[in-house]
Amino acid sequence: MRYSYIAVLDPGFYPRPYFFFKCCGIPTYFLRTFIGYLRNPQKRPQGGERRQQGTSASRGDPLRVVYNCPRQNRTVLLDASLYELLYAPYLSKIEGEGIIVMNPHGVYAAKAVGKKVVVDLMDLWSCHFDVFTLNAFDFHALRGADLVIAWSRSIAALLRSVGLRRVEYLPYGLDLESFDPLTVPPHIFLERYGIDPSTFKVVYSGGMWKVGGRDALGVEKLLLAFKMVEEKRRDVVLLLQTSREVVELAKRVGVRNFVYVERTPKPNDPLRLSMFRSADILVLTASRYPAVYFAERTTMFQYMSSSNAILAEDTPGVRGAIRHGETAYLIPIDSPVKLAEGIIELVRDDGLRKYLGRQARERLEQQYTWQALGKKAKELLQ
């Protein structure tokens, strides 16, 4: 069967469509409404920062009063149905008998025009922060798909537990041909930012994502933890590659020894790869927001490629790919004190840092490269 991949986000930042092209020769199209395509055929989706939740275009949907659980594109019921109706003429022109859609948008439209549908589920979108609440439209779309591919073991298990049966696990992994910090020397980054190579470098590279005004990625906890660290160790620097708003947040918390690193144009920019190569500790914070809590984040696999120690908050998503004491140092979630203690422990133990980094790289090469994952992708599509 011939498939086409329908992307909803810029593949430059979310390159899953490139994975399916490399493994299976599947072409990529962008999800558009038929009217939107006629008005602007050259329009491309935006990449970079995640959009804020809560500024919904679906406020005009009268059913929002009785059902206030929007989809990821901010639609609820009436406007969601309208979008699916407008997608159908566009998707009918896409070549092939099957369509892979990133997340549940477009499932109804594709089924309406007679396509087989595979949902490549990047996000487990939830209407609430602390409790997993799946939009009804999304649930029925996932149930009607011919196959749902979850990027996380825990998400696959969760979907099966709510009655979905056609669910398989295929992680994001990493394309080492295009993203490999070991091919870039560390001095590129160190010289650019004037950082002493002898200092311990703690790196956070990721977003600042607010959901309902709350920090969904745990950056604030990292700042609180690092304030404790620098009170005990003056030879440690925190490198923050995220939104610029983190600078003011760090100042409010009272962190002194930090360096703000500009976001690079592409995730695999040599400067970012060099930063990963130069790091001593790479930190992966989280929250209990379901889209983060259950996710195997793309940054985790990028960290694994660096051969440096990963310090991560312990979540079901994280445990799907890395293990405490084997490929990472895991600490309880939502404890800045434990996070600070973990940083200090890794700073003190050079042998542990090197062991964890080496093991993480080996695990990545064995199980999570695009070459290895491509074989399973072919099997699933067949």
Asked if residue 220 and residue 152 are part of one domain, the reply reads no
Pair of tokens at residue 38: 């006629």
Residue ending a domain, among 170, 201, 226, is 170
pLDDT band at 51 (very low <50, low <70, confident <90, very high): very low
376 falls within a domain = no
What is the spatial distance between Cα 125 and Cα 318, in angstroms, rounded to a whole number? 17
Asked if residue 244 and residue 203 are part of one domain, the reply reads yes
Give the mean model confidence (pLDDT) for residues 142-152. Answer: 97
**Per-residue model confidence (pLDDT) at position 123:** 84
Residue ending a domain, among 124, 141, 170, is 170
Residue 68 sits in which domain range? Answer: 3-170
Q: What is the pLDDT of residues 255-311, one digit of tens each?
A: 999 999 999 999 999 999 999 999 999 999 999 999 999 999 999 999 999 999 999
Check if the beta carbon of residue 124 is closer than 8 Å to that of residue 71: no
Who contacts 124 (Cβ-Cβ below 8 Å, separation ≥6)?
A: 132, 134, 152, 155, 158, 290, 291, 294, 295
211 falls within a domain = yes
**Per-residue model confidence (pLDDT) at position 47:** 59
**Is residue 219 over pLDDT 90?**
yes
Residues pairing with 5 in the sheet: 28, 100
176 falls within a domain = no
**Is residue 9 over pLDDT 90?**
no
Q: How far is CA 224 from CA 239, 255, 258, in A?
A: 14, 8, 12
Nearest residue to 342 (alpha-carbon basis) of 319, 315, 318, 313: 313
Asked if residue 338 and residue 319 are part of one domain, the reply reads yes
Range scoring the smallest mean pLDDT among 48-62, 66-80, 137-151: 48-62
Give the mean model confidence (pLDDT) for residues 224-239. Answer: 96
Residue ending a domain, among 111, 140, 170, is 170
Residue 152 region by backbone torsions, left for phi larger than 0, else alpha for psi between -120 and 50, else beta:
beta
**Per-residue model confidence (pLDDT) at position 379:** 94
Asked if residue 166 and residue 66 are part of one domain, the reply reads yes
244 falls within a domain = yes
Check if the beta carbon of residue 10 is closer than 8 Å to that of residue 33: no
Asked if residue 79 and residue 148 are part of one domain, the reply reads yes
pLDDT band at 59 (very low <50, low <70, confident <90, very high): low
CA angle (52, 55, 59) in 5-degree steps: 150
379 falls within a domain = no
- Compute the mean pLDDT over every residue in the chain, rounded to the nearest whole number: 92
**Is residue 52 over pLDDT 60?**
no
Q: Which residue has the tokens 């927001």?
A: 289
Give the mean model confidence (pLDDT) for residues 366-380. Answer: 95
CATH code at position 27: 3.40.50
Asked if residue 185 and residue 65 are part of one domain, the reply reads no
373 falls within a domain = no
* Domain count of the fold of the chain: 2
**Per-residue model confidence (pLDDT) at position 14:** 87
C-alpha count within 13 angstroms, C-beta hemisphere, residue 275: 26
Asked if residue 141 and residue 12 are part of one domain, the reply reads yes
Asked if residue 188 and residue 165 are part of one domain, the reply reads no
Q: How far is CA 267 from CA 174, 230, 271, 303, in A?
A: 12, 29, 10, 12
Element at 6 (helix H, strand E): strand 3-7
Element at 115 (helix H, strand E): none
Asked if residue 114 and residue 186 are part of one domain, the reply reads no
380 falls within a domain = no
Asked if residue 356 and residue 223 are part of one domain, the reply reads yes
Pair of tokens at residue 79: 């406007």
Pair of tokens at residue 290: 């379901």
**Per-residue model confidence (pLDDT) at position 58:** 42
**Is residue 171 over pLDDT 70?**
yes
**Per-residue model confidence (pLDDT) at position 11:** 85
What is the spatial distance between Cα 360 and Cα 181, in angstroms, rounded to a whole number? 13
Residue 330 region by backbone torsions, left for phi larger than 0, else alpha for psi between -120 and 50, else beta:
beta
Asked if residue 302 and residue 283 are part of one domain, the reply reads yes
CATH code at position 185: 3.40.50.2000
Neighbour count for residue 175 (Cβ, 10 Å): 20
Pair of tokens at residue 315: 């979540």
Asked if residue 294 and residue 271 are part of one domain, the reply reads yes
Give the mean model confidence (pLDDT) for residues 330-343. Answer: 98
20 falls within a domain = yes
Residues pairing with 236 in the sheet: 200
